[in-house]
A = this chain, B = another copy of it.
Amino acid sequence: MPVRDGLLALLDEGPKYGYQLKTEFEHATGGVWTLNVGQIYTTLDRLQRDGLVDATEADGQRSYQLTSDGRDALGAWWQATPVDEPPPRDELLLKVLLALGAGNDHAREVISRQRTALYELLQRHRRAQKPAAGQASRLVAEALLSRAEADLRWLDTCERSLNEGA
């Protein structure tokens, strides 16, 4: 629950009001993750419902802060590591697996199309935003690249398995 936990993390620095959370969230992510303002408030409502946050009003400015339960939840989030069981429901993964089930030709076509798209993504991002650009957005771009390279390698594996297995 990225948004939920993101708000908790930001609130750990101290009480904030809703709109402020929007700007800080976007700033923290280098501006690449925009957030509909409304979502902040719906999420804050739900956090309040769950007792992780409470609000105090003054001058029509509603200030939100972590409860001790909220601090616990946040601590747990920092500690949490990705689970691999069950493996994440990934779109690319599922698509290729199903394509394999639908016949080798179909699979080859799907793999080829995905590879092309990933390769273009790679080139596009390598060219762009090398210089300057805040630390956050640079890291986001590099995460994207790293994942794309991994997916490309995996697609190669799939094709190899397809050729051997046939």
Interface residues of A (CB under 8 A from B): 2-3, 5-6, 9-10, 12-13, 28-30, 32-34, 77-79, 81-82, 84, 86-87, 89-102, 110, 113-114, 116-118, 121, 125, 135-136, 138-140, 142-144, 146-147, 149-151, 153-154, 157-158, 161, 165
Q: Which of B6, B77, B81, B142 sits near A157, CB closer than 8 Å?
A: B142
Q: Which residues of B contact A93 (CB under 8 A)?
A: 139-140, 143
Q: Which residues of B contact A87 (CB under 8 A)?
A: 32-33, 140, 143-144
Tell me if A's interface is mostly helix, strand, loop or mixed: helix
CA distance A144 to B28 in the complex (A): 28
Residue of A3, A92, A136 with most chain B CB atoms under a 10 A cut-off? A136
Interface CB pairs A-B, < 8 A, 12:
A2-B94, A6-B94, A9-B98, A29-B94, A29-B97, A30-B97, A32-B87, A78-B113, A87-B144, A97-B136, A139-B154, A149-B150
